[in-house]
Every structure is written in C-alpha cells, then in structure tokens.
A and B are shown apart, each in its own frame.
Chain A
C-alpha cells in the first residue's frame, strides 16, 4: 500500500505544472517575424526574462501589450528581455496586431504553433506571464492581464533581479 502511495506521489509530482522556484521550461521556437530564425531558452540565460504566452484573439493579451512595450523601453535588452510567445493558429494575425502596438519591434516575438509552452506550463488562463531569473528559475507567475499596480510590482521585481 505504501509503495502504491509513493508511486502515486511521484507520478503527481512529475505531472505538476512548473511553479515558482522551478526551472523554466526549455524551448526552441521560431521568431514570429522570421520563422527560419530560432530563439531558445538557453540563449536567454544570464538575462532576466519575462515570458508572456499570448494570442491576438485574447482581449486581455491585447490590453497589456502596450504596457510591455513601455516596460521594455525602460530596460536594456541585455539585462531584461520580454519574450512573447504567440499561439495564434495564423501567425499573420499576431504580426498584424504587433505592428500596431510595437512597430519598432522592441519585444522579442516568437511563434509557438504547437502551443508547446502553454501545454508545458499547464496554463490556467490567457495571458500568462512568467518572470524568470538570470539563472533560469521561475520567480513569479502572473495569470491574466497585468493592471498598472501589477506592472509596478513587476518592475520592482525586475530591478531587484537585475541587481539595481
């Protein structure tokens, strides 16, 4: 009986969603603007990363996007990088939306056709954002659109992680 319980516990732990303190899910995804160019989680090591899982059809994602553009403007990409991962079935929808909001392409936009990241993170809502430390560990998880208060909180966390 004890053995069965132990196996069950291990199984549950294996299928648990990555949470605060866990290692961020590794990925290699194509760039939204240039599908031949790929970006991996490994290449972002050493930077504080905000990984945002979004879609152009999601109203909450649309609301918070201008705030992300403004936030990225405040930080050098060498230290803090906002990485968007679009799950649109048609990447042109995501590109059309971003051209209006982020014409200067400040945000790093990736395309996740197979929805591998929301599946791996077991997203319970859209949008979902994950603040990842320089060491590649999840520091904070934000489910839903970020309002002004949460953006301020996020900025403070980023400054702390950068070491300012």
Chain B
C-alpha cells in the first residue's frame, strides 16, 4: 500500500515537470522573429531611447544590468 502511495505521489510530481511547460531551444523559431523583439527596428531603437530619456527626464534603467528602478 505504501509503495503504491509513493508511486502515485511520484506520478503527480512528474506531472509538474518543467519539461511540460518549457519551450525547448528548437521550438523558438517564432521567438527569433524580428517582430518579437522589444524594439523591432534596430535603427530606431537608439532614437527611441533618446526620446524616452527626454520624456522621462532620467537616464538609465534600460540596460539589463540595472534594476529598472529609474534611480540611476
């Protein structure tokens, strides 16, 4: 009975496996499309950043190494 319970528990745990929800590297074709990037037109991203800077009156907070708190 105990082993049956353990087996059932294992089955339930395996159902939570990240493989069920994870997008595998070979399934990322549509993520790789230009339209999926935050700034689809590379030439415009610098200009957009400049406008953002003027509008918000603050620099920084765009790069990934910052927290995005706007405090720098």
**Chain A interface residues (CB < 8 Å from chain B):** 1, 4, 8, 53, 55, 57-59, 87-89, 115, 118-119, 123-126
Contact = CB atoms under 8 A, between A and B. Distances in A.
Contacts of B54: none
Contacts, number: 31
A57 B3 contact: no
A11 B6 CA distance: 16
B29 interface: yes
5 contacts: A1-B3, A55-B26, A57-B32, A115-B26, A126-B25
Given A55-B29, A57-B32, 5 more contacts: A115-B27, A118-B24, A118-B25, A118-B26, A123-B24
B51 interface: no
Interface of B: 3, 6-7, 10, 24-29, 32-33
Contacts of A8: 10
Given A1-B3, A4-B3, A4-B7, A57 B26 contact: no
Which of B10, B25, B27, B32 has its CB near the most chain A CB atoms (within 10 A)? B25
Chain A CB within 10 Å, residue with most, of B6, B10, B24: B24
B15 to A, nearest CB: 15
A55 B29 CA distance: 8
A57 B7 contact: no
Nearest to A7: B7
A123 B33 CA distance: 21
B20 to A, nearest CB: 14
